[in-house]
């Protein structure tokens, strides 16, 4: 395991300068559009009928530290993160950024992880079936459905399903909980209510993911099943199931393992569009809103978090690949 | 050997899943929260003739709250027929205590800021002429409209029980507005004639209950500001006893440092702006614990919920001895966007949906879901004008011979008139607003495309290019570019219709919808030739709103405004015809809007705005739906003039069941 550990260590060390660069770039890019959060605030106030004069705007800018040059703002922000673990305060929510994320990230991750688990649990067997029973009726049905799942946008599925349910049962999904259970303490009824509401986002997120995995698995499995060692294995008397499980499936999983990497930031970023459509209190809508209103500390912190997770995720999937496939490990250490 | 029955793992999984699903199928979890109305005896009155709200009786019994006779001032503000809304627009019935008002706004306060914004003076609806003292008990302007004398209500208290005195006014004016470190500058309404170049008000405290404000020049419009839910009572009154702990000159340094650290503020001025929140932000987390003069007080802040409870010291009562508000609490449940808000309304989760929370485009949805949601819909007119076509008179002002400048600076305003004649308000009304909007109004009342074509010929746009579009007065190709922020569902279809109507008279038109943030930036960069936007036109005549100024909403002259505000350092020096506007606007502020001089000045103002085509209404007076739960009383009738009154007067609604 020595070379693997060294490899992981090297990758994680490389992460630090990358994160610094990403954080600086994202901080700069967020502030590139002319104007700042105070402009957004003044515009919102104006559209509700209120007004602020120039002095009040200047006072707000001073309060938020927006009258400093950008480099100073960035250095202050970095200093607070590194020494105080303080990601700044969100202007829009008027709360520390870490509090907002602490509220939303666990929930987002839970929904994402459950939907990923469901996706894999359905897609892998279906993909295997599709490859093994190539060109059968079942294969065609599955292929058709996966193309539909890939083509139809998630938010459309969400909207249509939601309205179908409303039409037939009169029950409208307006969030993770129905009004009577929103702030109620946990109870059996509350869990049941959660299930009544959460099945829809899970279905939508799962459907979106199944198509891709089925197709990839089918293709790579078909690739492997055509190879000579499979013929040899059959000739040696292994059952079909054993032949499938012991060699081709492991190899066919490689492309899927390499996608685990970017799944990690996706679980935290959360599906933005579906979350907005279904009114889920996850990180997706928060990120969208904060970008639109130039709430720079919140946006910067989320981008930083997602970048770090992407890098970590890529390391994890590289390691997973190396562990699962000795050929990669062997090639790598040979090259090293 | 006895073998215990075995089940495979698969059987176990499927079996338990099925067992789990059964209760789901069987049970019916309701998503309605029933109103929990308390039963109490109306005839049980206190010595002064008031009925203690059941919601507060426990606390009074326990001794943590004084009884109602001691909480109310000597002289209460009595709400009855015609107080909050004129009798011809609403029927008032004294109500009963109890119930929770539920909202699902997209921001913590939502439009509850309207309902929690007490004003210094009160006149029904958006008028300012049937003035009744509200926070104050007496109000006297001097004949020259420069000095205003106020007397506070004896016994009026903040929501935490402390007395309201002139110290609250003095602290705000001297220790905040005038203090260099407070980060709290004077609001626009406290400047003489709303002009930040002139002197702000001077305060004279006479005693604990009386004070005077003096301005440098006649400022009759200040009377309207005292009625307006835009600046509200926070313009002059803040809870000094509470805010002093955040003030550098009053707070104990150690305690202040603790507060600064807890809030993450670097100066007490920053801390003060975080804590001294106006009613616009009454739902923000920092408003927890801030004493207010509103009907409801924020008591609970959770991630997506805000709960407000009745203010025990609210000084509005009805003639039967009830202390307003009737509803005991307000719950704001935050939703991500307007679509989620719509679904909440469809599901019956919102008690009163009005103003920004509803649009006419969704009428079909509101009506269709009425039965399931137990709601009804009624239409009222609006505080806002319908979408207007704004013309930016400053566009390309730095190019001396620019054709656009030639067209807008034309003393006969022929181009503007041509545009207004080409626009067909009735067609737009039929297509976009179900024909429900009012008659064509102001400078677009006449629709005559032939006359429009003649006028365009007269201004030198009689040549056409090879596609048939008119060339500009300089002979080069001319594009009328309309930009609009995508803040409302109706802007895009209105823009499309305006385009086709203008193309009908030969103009080449482009339309572009942009995000509101980008629109603001384009306006600041003076990159917008024409835009579609609305403003509070229906609220101008009484002085409640003043957003006819050139930088507001569609911005018909942002550069001259910048020049005036920066005292000449930035922007564009107003050309004589725009300077005329500034003079008229200043003159108007000298008189109360409801006075004869004020009304005449308003006429002159509207004459300028319409005659110079600062904006052109694209359709008739706006109509808005109000979606309310059945069984709620004291709401406006259909046809009431302002949809905002439905929310402003929430203190008076009560639940019949």
Give the tens place of pLDDT for each residue, B557-566. 999 998 988 8
pLDDT digits (tens, 9 = 90+) for B152-164: 999 999 999 999 9
Query: What does the pLDDT look like over B349-404, one tens digit per residue?
Result: 999 999 888 989 899 999 999 998 999 999 999 999 999 999 999 999 988 788 99
Contacts 24+ apart (CB under 8 A), A263-267: A263/A116, A263/A313, A264/A309, A264/A310, A264/A312, A264/A313, A264/A316, A265/A306, A265/A307, A265/A309, A265/A310, A265/A313, A266/A112, A267/A108, A267/A109, A267/A112, A267/A113, A267/A116
A190, two tokens = 């509350």
pLDDT (0 to 100) of residue A270:
67
Which residue among B303, B349, B372 sits closest to A174, beta carbon to beta carbon?
B349
Asked if residues B334 and B108 have their Cβ atoms less than 8 Å apart, the reply is yes
Shortest alpha-carbon distance between residue A321 and chain B (Å): 30
**Extended strands (E) in A51-149:** 89-90, 95-96
Query: What string of pLDDT tens digits covers the 336 residues of chain A?
Result: 677 778 778 888 888 888 888 888 888 887 777 777 787 777 777 666 666 777 777 877 777 777 788 888 888 888 888 888 888 888 878 788 888 888 888 888 888 888 888 888 988 888 888 888 888 888 888 888 888 888 888 888 888 988 899 888 888 888 888 888 887 888 898 899 888 888 888 888 888 778 888 888 888 888 888 888 888 888 888 888 888 887 788 888 888 888 877 777 877 776 787 787 788 888 888 888 888 777 888 888 888 888 888 888 888 888 888 777 777 765 555 554
With CB atoms and an 8 Å threshold, state whether B273 touches A33: no
Give me B392's structure tokens.
Answer: 């930016």
Contact B187 A53 (CB under 8 A): yes
**Does the distance separating the beta carbons of B24 and A192 come in below 8 Å?**
yes
Interface of A with B in 146-205 (CB under 8 A): 162, 166, 170-175, 178-183, 189, 192-193, 195-196
Of A34, A53, A58, the CB nearest to B521: A34
CA distance B229 to chain A (A): 9
| Helix locations, B433-557, DSSP H | 449-458, 491-504, 516-524
- Please, are residues A275 and A198 in contact by the beta-carbon 8 Å criterion? no
Which helix (H) or strand (E) segment is A301 a member of? helix A296-324
Q: Encode pLDDT of B290-322 as tens digits.
A: 999 999 999 999 888 999 999 999 999 999 999
In angstroms, the CA B544 to CA B124 distance is 12
| pLDDT of res. A244 | 81
Which strands sit side by side in the sheet containing B352-353, from one edge to the other?
A: B352-353, B623-629, B375-381
Q: Judge whether A298 and A93 are in contact, CB under 8 Å.
A: yes
Peptide bond between residue B187 and the one before it cis (omega within 30 degrees of 0): no
Contact: A174, B335; criterion CB under 8 Å: yes
pLDDT band at B623 (very low <50, low <70, confident <90, very high): very high
Cross-chain Cβ contact B102/A179 below 8 Å: yes
Q: pLDDT of B190-202, one tens digit each? A: 999 998 889 999 9
Best of A100, A155, A164, A179 to disrupt the B interface (most B CBs within 10 Å) is A179
Rounded to an integer, what distance in angstroms lies between the CA atom of residue B115 and that of residue B283?
Answer: 12
Q: Which of B539, B633, B543, B653 is nearest to B594 (CA)?
A: B543
Beta strands per DSSP E along B438-574: 479-485, 508-514, 530-533
Return the pLDDT at A331.
54
- Touching check for B280 and chain A: CB below 8 Å? yes
Residue A45 is predicted with a pLDDT of 72
Give B477's strand partners. Answer: B471
Task: Answer whether A96 sits within 8 Å of B264, measured CB to CB.
Answer: yes
Lookup: tokens for A325: 């496939």
pLDDT tens-place string over residues A101-124: 888 888 888 888 888 888 889 888
B303 contacts A170? CB cut-off 8 A: no
Strands B77-79 and B316-318: parallel
**A90: nearest CA partner in chain B:** B264
Search chain A and give the residue with CA nearest B284: A94
> Tell me: the pLDDT tens digits for B411-463?
999 999 999 999 999 999 999 999 999 999 999 899 999 999 999 999 999 99
What's the count of helices (H) and strands (E) in chain B, helices before strands?
A: 22, 22
Sequence length of chain B is 657
CA distance B169 to B92: 34
Positive or negative, the CA dihedral B36, B39, B43, B44 is negative
| Residues 6 or more apart in contact with residue B420 via CB below 8 angstroms | B443, B444, B446, B613, B616
Residues 6+ apart with CB under 8 A from B583: none
Q: For residue A28, what pLDDT is reported? A: 84
Q: Report the candidate in B87, B260, B118 with the shortest Cα–Cα distance to residue B636.
A: B87
Residue-level pLDDT at B26:
39
* B282 in contact with chain A, both atoms CB, cutoff 8 A: no
Q: How does strand B305-310 pair with strand A95-96? A: unpaired
Chain A window 81-120: which residues touch B at a Cβ cutoff of 8 Å? Answer: 86, 89, 94-96, 103
Count of alpha carbons within 13 angstroms of residue B304, beta-carbon side: 24
Nearest CA-CA distance, residue A119 and chain B, Å? 18
Verify whether the Cβ–Cβ distance A279 to B336 is below 8 Å.
Answer: yes
Contact indicator for A38, A53 with CB cutoff of 8 Å: no
Tell whether B17 lies on the interface with A, counting CB pairs under 8 A: no
What's residue B16's pLDDT?
60
d(CA A269, CA A108): 8
Q: What is the pLDDT of residue B221?
A: 93
């Amino acid at each position: 395991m020595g070379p693997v550990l060294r490899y992981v260590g090297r990758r994680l060390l490389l992460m630090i300068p990358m994160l610094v660069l990403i954080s600086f770039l994202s901080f700069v890019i967020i502030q590139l559009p002319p104007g700042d959060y105070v402009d957004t605030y003044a515009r919102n106030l104006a559209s509700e009928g209120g007004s602020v004069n120039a002095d009040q705007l200047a006072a707000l800018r001073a309060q938020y530290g927006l009258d400093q040059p950008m480099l100073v703002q960035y250095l202050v922000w970095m200093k607070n993160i590194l020494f105080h673990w303080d990601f700044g305060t969100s202007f829009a929510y008027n709360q520390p950024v870490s509090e907002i994320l602490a509220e939303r990230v666990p929930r987002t991750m839970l929904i994402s992880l459950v939907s990923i688990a469901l996706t894999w649990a359905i897609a892998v067997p279906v993909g295997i079936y599709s490859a093994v029973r190539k060109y059968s009726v079942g294969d065609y049905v599955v292929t058709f459905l996966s193309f539909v799942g890939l083509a139809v946008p998630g938010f459309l599925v969400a909207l249509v399903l939601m309205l179908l349910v409303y039409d037939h049962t009169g029950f409208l999904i307006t969030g993770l909980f129905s009004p009577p259970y929103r702030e109620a303490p946990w109870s059996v009824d509350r869990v049941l209510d959660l299930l009544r509401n959460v099945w829809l986002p899970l279905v939508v997120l799962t459907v979106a993911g199944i198509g891709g995995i089925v197709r990839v698995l089918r293709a790579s499995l078909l690739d492997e099943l055509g190879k000579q060692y499979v013929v040899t294995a059959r000739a040696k008397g292994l059952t079909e199931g054993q032949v499938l499980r012991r060699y081709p499936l492991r190899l066919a999983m490689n492309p899927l393992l390499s996608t685990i990497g970017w799944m990690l930031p996706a679980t935290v970023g959360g599906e933005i569009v579906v979350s907005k459509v279904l009114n889920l209190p996850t990180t997706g809508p928060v990120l969208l809103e904060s970008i639109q209103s130039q709430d720079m500390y919140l946006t910067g912190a989320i981008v930083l978090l997602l970048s770090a997770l992407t890098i970590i995720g890529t390391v994890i999937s590289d390691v997973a690949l190396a562990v699962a496939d000795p050929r990669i490990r062997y090639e790598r250490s040979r090259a090293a | 050997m006895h073998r215990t029955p075995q089940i495979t793992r698969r059987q176990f999984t499927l079996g338990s899943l099925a067992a789990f699903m059964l209760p789901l199928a069987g049970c019916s979890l309701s998503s309605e929260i029933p109103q929990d109305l308390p039963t109490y005896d109306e005839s049980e009155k206190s010595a002064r003739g008031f009925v203690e709200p059941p919601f507060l009786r426990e606390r009074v019994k326990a001794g943590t709250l004084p009884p109602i006779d001691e909480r109310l001032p000597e002289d209460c503000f009595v709400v009855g027929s015609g107080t909050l809304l004129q009798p011809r627009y609403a029927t008032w019935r004294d109500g009963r205590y109890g119930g929770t008002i539920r909202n699902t706004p997209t921001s913590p306060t939502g439009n509850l800021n309207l309902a929690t914004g007490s004003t210094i003076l009160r006149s029904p609806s958006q008028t300012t002429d049937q003035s009744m003292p509200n926070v104050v008990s007496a109000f006297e302007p001097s004949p020259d409209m420069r000095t205003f004398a106020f007397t506070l209500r004896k016994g009026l208290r903040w929501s935490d029980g402390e007395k309201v005195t002139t110290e609250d006014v003095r602290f705000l004016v001297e220790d905040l507005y005038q203090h260099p470190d407070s980060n709290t500058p004077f609001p626009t309404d406290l400047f003489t004639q709303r002009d930040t170049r002139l002197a702000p008000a001077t305060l004279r405290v006479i005693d604990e209950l009386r004070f005077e404000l003096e301005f440098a020049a006649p400022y009759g419009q200040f009377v309207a500001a005292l009625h307006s839910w835009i600046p509200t009572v926070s313009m002059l009154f803040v809870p000094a006893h509470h805010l002093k702990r955040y003030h550098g000159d009053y707070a104990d340094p150690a305690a202040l440092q603790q507060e600064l650290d807890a809030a993450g503020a670097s100066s007490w001025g920053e801390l003060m702006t975080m804590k001294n929140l106006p009613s616009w932000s009454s739902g923000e987390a920092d408003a927890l614990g801030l004493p207010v003069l509103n009907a409801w007080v924020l008591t609970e802040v959770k991630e997506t919920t805000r709960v407000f409870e009745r203010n025990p010291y609210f000084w509005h009562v009805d003639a039967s001895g009830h202390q307003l508000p009737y509803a005991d609490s307000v719950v704001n449940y935050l939703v991500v966007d307007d679509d989620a808000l719509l679904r909440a309304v469809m599901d019956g989760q919102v008690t009163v949906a009005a103003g920004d929370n509803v649009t006419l485009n969704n009428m079909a949805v509101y009506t269709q879901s009425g039965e399931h949601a137990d709601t009804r819909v009624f239409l009222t007119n609006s505080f806002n004008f319908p979408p207007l076509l704004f013309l930016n008179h400053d566009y390309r002002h730095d190019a001396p011979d620019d054709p656009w400048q030639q067209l807008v600076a034309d003393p006969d305003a022929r181009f503007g008139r041509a545009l207004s004649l080409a626009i067909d308000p009735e067609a737009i009304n039929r297509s976009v607003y179900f024909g429900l909007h009012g008659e064509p109004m102001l400078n677009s009342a006449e629709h005559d495309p032939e006359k429009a074509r003649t006028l365009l010929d007269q201004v030198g746009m009689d040549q056409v290019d090879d596609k048939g579009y008119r060339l500009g007065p300089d002979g080069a190709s001319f594009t009328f570019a309309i930009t609009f922020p995508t803040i409302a569902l109706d802007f895009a279809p209105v823009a499309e219709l305006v385009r086709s109507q203008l193309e009908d008279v030969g103009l080449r038109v482009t339309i572009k919808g942009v995000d509101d943030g980008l629109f603001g930036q384009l306006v600041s960069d003076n990159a917008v030739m024409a835009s579609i936007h609305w403003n509070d036109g229906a609220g101008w005549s009484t002085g409640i709103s003043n957003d006819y100024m050139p930088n507001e909403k569609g911005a018909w002259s942002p550069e001259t405004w910048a020049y005036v505000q920066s005292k000449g350092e930035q922007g564009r020096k107003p050309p004589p015809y725009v300077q005329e506007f500034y003079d008229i606007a200043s003159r108007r502020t000298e008189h109360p809007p409801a006075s004869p001089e004020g009304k005449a000045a308003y006429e002159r103002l509207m004459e300028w705005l319409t005659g110079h085509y600062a904006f052109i209404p694209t359709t008739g007076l706006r109509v808005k739906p109000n979606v309310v739960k059945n069984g709620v009383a004291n709401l406006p009738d259909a046809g009431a003039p302002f949809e905002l009154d439905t929310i402003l007067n929430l203190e008076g609604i009560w639940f019949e069941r």
